[in-house]
Structure 1
């Protein structure tokens, strides 16, 4: 029991999403959902993720009950003080993950710290067990000289 608890505590903390809006797109009840996702490690950065959510009527008529499309869009902005002192340049790290099917498919946000160009890159993409997906969207947040851990501009 203690080992299980310890293992769960050691897992990286992924951000939770807060629904900001739902926009109806057709008569069968399909929606575009917009969620706010705050970066749990960096702080001071909030990404807005938009994705398609299928209605029950659409699921019944299409015959694919357990899966949503992988399409998404992302835009990230500075919303407070930014601290990149714990990040390793060039490494992609999970910020958010949400299931898009019953099994093996998720919508993810990854963060990459580009130290040379003083930019945080946020990539939204689908992750599937059996097939890769080219559906992605990217947003960048420039770092300022006063940000914790940021290198001064050359």
Structure 2
């Protein structure tokens, strides 16, 4: 019975785990709207949950107006990314897969998401981060890429 309860608790913890959230650190207005928020570019920071000491900064378009203010507008696929080592050292939380979605967020009410993917380049001991948008029917080839070199004395642990 205790094993069953422990299993249920573990499953509940996994389901209720706190997702990675962006922290908005700035924005600029790009077009005036009479009602609702203006169209804008936001700058958001994301900390890699498996690599302590790496933060990614993403700038992306946000649609304003009434539909954007209430969350019904579809944001464009335009995005830029820059990831940097922000701590004194890089610490890995376990082994990393060759490629993994680090973050994903809805960009429209239906079927469109922003992704940040981490790809490990073991030859160069580098973490490469890619941002792109996908959509159920017609995704966009617009993307951004950046890389964080890892010191040779700290090899990346691969799965």
Give me the TM-score of the superposition, normalised by structure 1. 0.80
**Which of the residues 4, 29, 40 maps onto 2:49?**
40
Report runs of 4+ in structure 1 exceeding 6 Å deviation: 10-13
Q: Which runs of 5+ in 1 are unaligned?
A: 60-64
Indicate conservation of the 8 Å contact 1:48/1:74, yes or no.
yes
**Which of the residues 66, 79, 91 maps onto 1:83?**
91
Between 1:11-20 and 1:79-88, the stretch displaced more is: 11-20
Distance in 1, Cα, partners of 2:79 & 2:61:
7
1:45 Cα deviation from its structure 2 partner: 0.5
Q: 1:22-70: per-residue Cα shift (whole Å, max 9, x none)?
A: 11112221110000000000111000011001111586xxxxx531111
Matching residue of 2:108: 101
Q: Which runs of 5+ in 2 are unaligned?
A: none
Distance in 2, Cα, partners of 1:114 & 1:11:
32
Matching residue of 1:49: 58
State yes or no: 1:110 paired with 2:117. yes
Alignment of 1:132-151 (within 5 A): 132-147=139-154, 149-150=155-156
Indicate conservation of the 8 Å contact 1:30/1:58, yes or no.
no
Distance in 2, Cα, partners of 1:95 & 1:76:
12
Distance in 2, Cα, partners of 1:15 & 1:150:
22
Distance in 2, Cα, partners of 1:144 & 1:71:
32
Alignment of 1:120-135 (within 5 A): 120-135=127-142
Query: How many residues of Structure 1 are paired with residues of Structure 2 in the alignment?
Result: 144
Structure number with bigger Rg: 2
Indicate conservation of the 8 Å contact 2:31/2:39, yes or no.
yes
1:117 Cα deviation from its structure 2 partner: 1.1
1:25 counterpart SS class: strand
1:83 Cα deviation from its structure 2 partner: 3.1
Give me the TM-score of the superposition, normalised by structure 2. 0.78
